[in-house]
Structure 1
């Protein structure tokens, strides 16, 4: 094809890039138009579709998953979905659940997933909840909350090029405060009657972007309240809104993490009994966040490096490595300065200041791509990680009280952010 050769492949590529850039507003408009409408964002009227009093049994079944669907603007598609989710772990079965112990796991899915029960993320999340239910039989009532948003297009062409519109939607959802409200409501109920109950939140891809934006300021507030108040002091026990947050191959720029990382310094130290609060796991084999994300951000305009690279691909933030080894030094522990291991997968701490916010890097042998977070080996590791984080979230010495500024290192003074 002489004409093609004369024009040049480079010019063809440049024209395609220009077309993508110019066409972004159309992607936004079309995606918003296709987003589900809210049929009731303020209340769940009695007898309405999804009303838990009308549709659900009186006694709850451990291991149930409740879906909460959101619009691109962050509104509830049906407020009754939220009501049903909260009711699910307030009305418990007779018998084992009478003790009131709960384990609530919230999952915010990422790009190219949705609310359908046949969706790959939903199926894998259900398996995680089923495994946790069996592990906590006769001990805790387990509930899964699947937070869904319009992150997938049924049109295969739009599904490949809707990067900007889905990132824009993720930011709008986070800015609306809805996910923060869901986590806050769940935290309030979980912690009201029993301090052996736990709330763990997990996010993947753009879902991790939504989740981190929803909890970041609460983390900073918790850190400020637990600060010793003087140079060289030890933080009190940090009590954020969730007992643990796990982000998998997160799709948000490194600059969003700058303020949290700034707390990793020599002027103060964290209590050696402080459980980890945030675990971010990113794979070097994730081309979506390692290459496609920076490229998509670059198309939006010339930005500093920290605005282009994702948080998990910034070596300056790395605190842990996740690798395969038959001789793990961590011995199944979840001490934030040492790490965690399970069946030959070792999450070990790098050199540096102990920090309850883990930034973990791994490779293709463990997570081979952006959506490979549910492969059998890593799924098993994730299950054990959630289980350990929930077990460590409420140590036996847990007591409520106010922060003091001069406590021995071994004393876990508690700073409750949600007193009940």
Structure 2
């Protein structure tokens, strides 16, 4: 990792080399870890799309008193420049993602950013981390130990109510994540009706997978079988493992009927406009099987009309909805402090 880039990122998050006390502006920081077939080259489509997302966030935040800081985290997700050969690099790039996990640079960077946020003590500072595909694999493996540690430290010690807790990022978002459902098992084991989540607890992890993401639905499973991973949780990605799904994201004509004991993120609906300019309502809704209200680890499924395929995460309607969800989470967490 380039030390100069590292220093520049942390100085930008901190408000500059000379920023002290109340003189600096609040920061809204968004990290992005790209996925398979991408890298940090200037012409890379993910870098261009992320730059456009930062521009949208900057526009949305123009009256908030916050500076938007976008951080694109690159790794060698593309190893072949030949279009036809790119599809053959899936498992090789999976191994490259695991090597990126092993050196712990993303964990270190998020921890450093969280420490800057802690020292600044600005209630309007907010950190979002987004990962896609194998980038979501890298990001999840980087944040999971801290999240599990903080959740354990917030445990009531018996049957009761957790204290509110978060990770290094205020909100981590995983889009079409390419990792085994088994990696989420420790989180799922905490879905117990014997303990409840605090009313002050807001979302800290949101995963969204689409049903027509064929690389994670079929190719991933086939590769796992070829390497001897026979159990369903090891050969199936998180978004395709039904037992771990807590929410659905769907288009709807109107808001669904209110759930019992629902938190705002158990039924979050926002109006967007599609490519034809027609108004649509996208609703994130807790599934009937999810019996633990307020679970801050949301595992959502959607379909191709919202996320179209493995790389369909940049669709305008979905981006509009996602920005609204991030803003709602930011506001809710700030109000709980």
TM-score by length of 2: 0.89
**1:112 equivalent in alignment to 2:37:** yes
Asked whether 1:202 is paired with 2:130, we answer yes
Give 1:171 deviation, angstroms.
0.9
TM alignment of 1:398-409, pairs within 5 A: 398=337
Deviation, structure 1 residue 189? 1.1
- Residue among 338, 348, 358 paired with 2:285: 348
Equivalent residue number for residue 143 of structure 1: 69
In structure 1, the gaps of 5 or more residues are 1-75, 399-420
Q: Match for residue 363 of structure 1?
A: 303
Superposed CA offset, 1:111-142 (max 9, x none): 00110232221111111111111222241011
Shift of 1:157: 4.2
Q: Secondary structure at the match of 2:320?
A: helix
8 Å contact from structure 2 (residues 203, 265) kept in 1: no
Matching residue of 1:384 = 324
User: Which range moved further: 104-113 or 295-304?
Assistant: 295-304
| Residue 225 (1) aligns with residue 153 (2) | yes
SS state of the match for residue 115, structure 2? helix
Relative distance call for 1:347 and 1:385 in structure 2 (3 A) is same
Following TM superposition, by how much is the alpha carbon of 1:197 offset from its aligned partner in structure 2, in angstroms? 0.6
Deviating beyond 4 angstroms after TM superposition, the runs of 4 or more aligned structure 1 residues are none
Q: Deviations over 1:175-198 (max 9, x none)?
A: 211100010111111232213211
For residues 87-106 of structure 1, what are the structure 2 equivalents within 5 Å?
A: 87-92=11-16, 98-106=23-31
Q: Which runs of 5+ in 2 are unaligned?
A: 272-280
Q: Deviation at 1:320?
A: 0.5
Please tell me whether the aligned partners of residues 15 and 25 of structure 2 are also in contact (alpha carbons under 8 angstroms).
no
Map residues 309-324 of structure 1 onto 2, 5 A cutoff.
309-324=236-251
Q: How does 1:46-57 map to 2 (within 5 A)?
A: none
CA–CA distance in structure 2, aligned partners of residues 382 and 330 of structure 1:
22
Following TM superposition, by how much is the alpha carbon of 1:337 offset from its aligned partner in structure 2, in angstroms?
5.5
Query: Higher Cα Rg: structure 1 or 2?
Result: 1
Q: For 1:171 and 1:330, how far apart are their aligned partners in 2?
A: 42
Return the TM-score normalized by structure 1. 0.72
Displacement of 1:99 in angstroms is 4.7
Q: CA deviation at 1:239?
A: 2.8
What's the offset of the Cα at 1:86? Answer: 1.0
Measure the CA separation in 1 of the matches of 2:264 and 2:106: 27
- Count of residues paired in the alignment: 316
Match of 2:278 in 1: none
Match of 1:127 among 49, 52, 62: 52
Cα distance in 1 between the residues matched to 2:229 and 2:150: 35
- Give the match for residue 9 of structure 2: 85
Distance change >3 Å, CA 389–CA 229, structure 1 → 2: same
SS at match of 1:134: helix
Separation in 2 of the partners of 1:316 and 1:325?
A: 24
CA contact 2:171–2:205 (8 Å) conserved in 1: yes
Describe the shift of the 1:89–1:228 C-alpha distance in structure 2 as closer, same or farther (beyond 3 A).
same
Find the aligned partners of 1:240 and 1:368 in 2 and give their Cα distance. Answer: 29
In the alignment, structure 1 residue 374 sits paired with structure 2 residue 314: yes
- The answer for the alignment partner of 2:208 in structure 1 is 281
Instruction: Give the aligned CA root-mean-square deviation in angstroms.
Output: 1.9
Q: Which residue of 226, 241, 252 maps to 1:325?
A: 252
The question of whether the paired residues in 2 share the 8 Å contact of 1:330 and 1:346 is answered with: no
